[in-house]
Structure 1
Amino acid sequence: MTENLTLSAPANLRDLGGIPAVGGTVRRGVAIRADDLSLTPREDAETLIADGLAAVIDLRTPGEVRNTGRGVFGELPVAYHHLPLMPGLRPTAGPGSGVDPRDPVGMGGMYADLFSTAAGQIVTALAVLAVTPGATAFHCSAGKDRTGVLAAAFLLALGADDDDVVADYAVTGTNIAAVGRRLQPLMGAILASHGVNRNTFTRSAIGQDFSAVAMETALATLRQRHGDPLRPLREAGLGDELVAMLRRRAVDPA
């Protein structure tokens, strides 16, 4: 674990409660999306647990986890599930390879790819959300790309409209500058371990080029490829029973 980490409260943390879903709205206290929770100070982590946090789903790469571990959450009574959606920040093949993070259309295509290449991990994450007796927080580093993919899958499984999925994703745009400032002290260690140019990454992948077009593109691509955007997840085990469990757990009836 990297020494002398700069700890700070998450800058892109929000409960997905209140978003319209089939038959009602998403229940508060079930699904929380966030940026890197390993950098959270103990006081903030303890507050989250006191407010009902019971599990953490970590979507970061193994290399990212080696750099910072679980942080204080490793010492607190919360379940932990490591479900990396990508093998590395800059894979040589597969999702993310050759994608310019400043290109929202390219990023949207990568998001759509993850529904297939990381389908097993996404379905497992949805199962965790369905059965955890308390809130589940899921996060990557910035809470934007991989976290955005899982949030989209969760909302689509609950029957949310595409516009509402995009609207949730767009909220990250209002937080992205603060996320960049929060992660800046950590970037050297993370990027060196992945062979990524630090200046390019911090300026673009975390930085000032956020666009909701990325999620719009992802959803349009999924529908064009599969008809049902959840089809890759259904083929990986997202059956009707799991969807029903998730909806019972996560939807407040109208």
Structure 2
Amino acid sequence: MTRVTANWIDLETLVNLRDLGGTPTTDGGTVAAGRLLRSDNLQSLTDSDIRALLDLGLTDVIDLRSDLEDAQEGPGPLTKVSEVTIHHHSLFKENLTEAQTETQLTEQINELSPEDLIAKEEIIGKALPWTEVVKPTIQVDDESASFYLSYLVDRPDSVLASLRAIAHAPGAALVHCAAGKDRTGTIVALSLRLVGAEPQAVIDDYAASSERIERILDKLARSDTYRDNVRSQTVAAQTTHPETMQLFLEYVDSEYGSVDRLLAGFGWTDEDTAAMRTKLLAES
């Protein structure tokens, strides 16, 4: 069993950026460097950060945040970079009434002036999932794993679209959410298992975010969007424990047979898997 050390990339405004290159597969192969990156929110990138990401070959960003998060945070700097395509695929289920669709609430926020902070907070409170008690669709012994599994059945459309965006990116694909650990960890884990990554290597990668959890939470706490949620929980509750990803992977294998079979039920094909393998695996 190979233990994986995280390939951290340090930029001015990112605290949870790393390259999945070097991840070992069960058949003796590895994931190639510069193909799949993962990180925390890209909202505050500096010009220097953008240049560094472009130097890494970045062409595609898979943004897993909700429309409301995106509206609250505002357009990120990469939206103005022509070399980068942004794919926005929320993993949160639709839990609003027909009259309060996420798109409509986003439009309401965008129409408000900067001074309308109270009104803005009220609108956000209707749709951000952490502003109320939301029970996961699938429940197992680990709360975080329950939410990760629920992403798969609540938003299979976004799961497949995210994976296909990775598989067909002409350059480096970067997956991110807010912290870069939960939603990002789910999509990255699926990507790695699709190409035969060793389960322990997937677990190690997921758990690596815990090495920087205080920096991750400090960054989130500086945002009006995430501050209250971050401060309402202990650091331990927001840490990426290896047991969580182990349970996630074991549940998928026991209930569906494999990641491939799970995704096939949503419309994933052998051709999709082949494209992902071509994208991520280093040539032997």
Q: Distance in 1 between matches of 2:237 and 2:35?
A: 27
* Structure 1 residue identity aligned to 2:279: R
From the superposition, tell whether residues 96 and 34 of structure 1 become closer, same or farther in structure 2 (CA, over 3 Å). Answer: farther
Corresponding residue of 1:182: 219
From the superposition, tell whether residues 148 and 139 of structure 1 become closer, same or farther in structure 2 (CA, over 3 Å). Answer: same
What is the count of residue pairs matched by the alignment? 237
1:44 is aligned to 2:76: no
From the superposition, tell whether residues 227 and 130 of structure 1 become closer, same or farther in structure 2 (CA, over 3 Å). Answer: same
Corresponding residue of 1:221: 251
* Structure 1 residue identity aligned to 2:199: D
What SS does the corresponding residue of 1:54 show, helix, strand or coil?
Answer: strand
What SS does the corresponding residue of 2:62 show, helix, strand or coil?
Answer: strand
Map 1:185-200 to 2 at 5 A.
Answer: 185-186=222-223, 188-190=224-226, 197=229, 199-200=231-232
CA contact (8 A) 1:61 1:89 kept: no
Which structure carries more relative contact order (alpha carbon 8 Å, separation 6+)?
Answer: 1
1:164 is aligned to 2:201: yes
- Give how far 1:190 is off: 4.0
From the superposition, tell whether residues 96 and 141 of structure 1 become closer, same or farther in structure 2 (CA, over 3 Å). Answer: farther
Corresponding residue of 1:95: 136
CA contact (8 A) 1:120 1:237 kept: no
Q: Distance in 2 between matches of 1:171 and 1:104?
A: 22
Question: C-alpha offsets along residues 159-207 of structure 1, whole Å, 9 cap, x if unaligned?
Answer: 1121111011111110111111122210x3346xxxx655314x34885
From the superposition, tell whether residues 12 and 124 of structure 1 become closer, same or farther in structure 2 (CA, over 3 Å). Answer: same
Unaligned 5+ runs, structure 2:
1-10, 94-127
Deviates more, 1:134-143 or 1:71-80: 71-80
Could you say which structure has the larger radius of gyration?
2
1:33 is aligned to 2:3: no
Deviates more, 1:116-125 or 1:55-64: 116-125
Corresponding residue of 2:88: 82
RMSD: 2.5
Q: Distance in 2 between matches of 1:111 and 1:44?
A: 30
CA contact (8 A) 2:67 2:90 kept: yes
* Structure 1 residue identity aligned to 2:60: A
Deviates more, 1:211-220 or 1:146-155: 211-220
Corresponding residue of 1:4: none
The match for 1:122 among 159, 162, 171 is: 159
Question: C-alpha offsets along residues 201-225 of structure 1, whole Å, 9 cap, x if unaligned?
Answer: 4x34885x44111111111222222
Normalised to the residue count of structure 1, the TM-score between the two structures is: 0.84
Q: Distance in 1 between matches of 2:185 and 2:46?
A: 24
* Structure 2 residue identity aligned to 1:89: P
Question: C-alpha offsets along residues 112-153 of structure 1, whole Å, 9 cap, x if unaligned?
Answer: 222222222121111111111100111000011000000101
CA contact (8 A) 1:53 1:137 kept: yes
Question: C-alpha offsets along residues 19-68 of structure 1, whole Å, 9 cap, x if unaligned?
Answer: 01246211111110000011222210122013210111100111111112
The match for 1:68 among 73, 79, 90 is: 73
What SS does the corresponding residue of 1:11 show, helix, strand or coil?
Answer: coil
1:235 is aligned to 2:270: no
Normalised to the residue count of structure 2, the TM-score between the two structures is: 0.76
Runs in 1 of length 4+ with deviation above 4 angstroms? Answer: 91-94, 204-207
Map 1:112-151 to 2 at 5 A.
Answer: 112-151=149-188
From the superposition, tell whether residues 141 and 240 of structure 1 become closer, same or farther in structure 2 (CA, over 3 Å). Answer: same
What SS does the corresponding residue of 2:43 show, helix, strand or coil?
Answer: helix
